[in-house]
Amino acid sequence: MAESVMDNKSKSEGGSRRRWAVFFAITALIIALAAASTASPKISLFGKVNKLCSCSQQQKYTGIVEDCCCNYETANLLNEEVLYPSLQELVKTPFFRYFKVKLWCDCPFWPDDGMCKLRDCSVCECPDNEFPELFKRPFRRGLPSDAPICQEGKPEAAVDRTLDHRAFRGWTVTDNPWTNDDETNNDEMTYVNLQLNPERYTGYTGPSARRIWDAVYSENCPKYPSEELCQEERLLYKLISGLHSSISIHIAADYLLDEDTNSWGENLTLMYDRVLRYPERVRNLYFTYLFVLRAVTKTATYLEQAEYNTGNPTEDLKAHSLIRQLLYNPKLQAACPLPFDEAKLWKGQRGPELKQKTQEQFRNISALMDCVGCEKCRLWGKLQVLGLGTALKILFSQNGEDKIVQTLQRNEVIALINLLNRLSESVKFVHEKGAAVERIMERQSGLFPFASILLQKVWPFSSSLLR
């Protein structure tokens, strides 16, 4: 009897050891799968994503950008060598970093019910001693403060809302026929330092945010099969889609990864899900980029001659020099002198009708920016829609090039240059990291279903072994 008990005990211990061995083997297999998914630098299996290294890679997008006069290879090269470096410096100068905006407007379409999750949703306004004195009073040459009071998270900062009408030669205060904003109503305007209010993740999500984009697309630029549309009818959808892609890239590139530790970084999973997995959205980004670039180059003569006078001679001279470098760069003029040919559009019997319809639709989109429930999202939405409306105004004015520049507002040019900079940043990210992100995400998408199925099969079995 004693020997029998000992045999049973020995068998039991042997079976227990085998069960533990099976469990650890299964666990090791799952860990190995997770390790395989993280073989690419700094991408975790469970979605917390940090910065990805940039490396040489074969590009997915080649040939002529649809409806443009420049190919992807040239656009990427010019952006890397010419536009991106100049624009990064240009938007930091006093003239281009202060934007005049109405942040408190009632939504003309529905009650505002937007909720923001983070304090980063709030916009930091500029106190009286920060933005250039000449922006308010044209003949006083006070210097901007070297120690700005305005910081993120302090939306209660006081603002002097009195604005000048003649601070710069040739800058007028007439409304843009392509946008809904009334720029002449100065009582409701305030200055915002764009450098202190970056476009990034704010926590603005849910039905309110989705309703904005649903209204933009479904009511103002619905997508139809491209073969059914002429170039004029494709124009607005492609511009808005390209702008949407750029906004999504900026949100994903500066994302709150961990709210507890206030850790920010690149959410590559979000970027892939919203933009990179859809080739059409990437193509539309390049289209919008070249479209806006054409608007900037078309106004080269006037932008060169304008007075970028903020009362800070050193910075103003720098802004003027950077504008000249950008507009008259020999590489740009030689490689892509005409990024987009606007002369082809609005021809034929339906031309005027299509143009008027597109203008009305874009004005509606501009008005929708007042319905954005997040202040910082509204700021960048208004700026970039105004920039795009300015590009439309420049390229499709009926009055000829000379008349166009005579009706440009200072705020329109600030919006136009900042928009081009945002598009340039997005194009740079797609060019440098897009293919690598796609490969990583596609590899993970193939791994996750297998790991999930394995875990579902193994876990009940493993649990039973340990009982």
Give the Cα separation of 388 and 390 in Å (integer): 5
Q: Is 244 annotated among the ligand-binding residues?
A: yes
Query: Do 152 and 118 form a contact (C-beta atoms < 8 A)?
Result: no
From 116, 121, 221, 377, the catalytic residue: 377
Helices (H) and strands (E) in the chain, counts: 15, 4
380 is known to lie in a ligand binding site: no
Cα separation, 212 vs 416, in Å, equals 22
Number of Cβ within 10 Å of residue 439's Cβ equals 12
For residue 145, say whether it is annotated as part of any ligand binding site. no
- Judge whether 377 counts as a catalytic residue: yes
With a CB cutoff of 8 Å and minimum separation 6, the contacts of 292 are 387, 388, 391, 416, 419, 420, 423
> What is the C-alpha separation between 392 and 230, in angstroms, rounded?
18
d(CA 43, CA 64): 33
Please give the single-letter amino acid code of residue 120. D
Residues near 165 by Cβ (< 8 Å), separated by ≥ 6? 138, 173
List the catalytic residue out of 124, 126, 150, 374: 374
Q: Is 202 annotated as a binding residue?
A: yes
* Alpha carbons 63 and 74: distance in angstroms, whole number: 9
Q: What is the token pair recorded at 224?
A: 């139809």
What are φ and ψ of residue 108, in 5° steps? -80, -5
Residues 290, 339: contact at Cβ < 8 Å? yes
Q: Annotate 2-13 with b (16+ C-beta within 10 A) or e (fewer).
A: eeeeeeeeeeee
Known catalytic residues are 374, 377
As annotated, the binding site includes 200, 202, 213, 241, 244, 274
As annotated, the binding site for FAD includes 200, 202, 213, 241, 244, 274
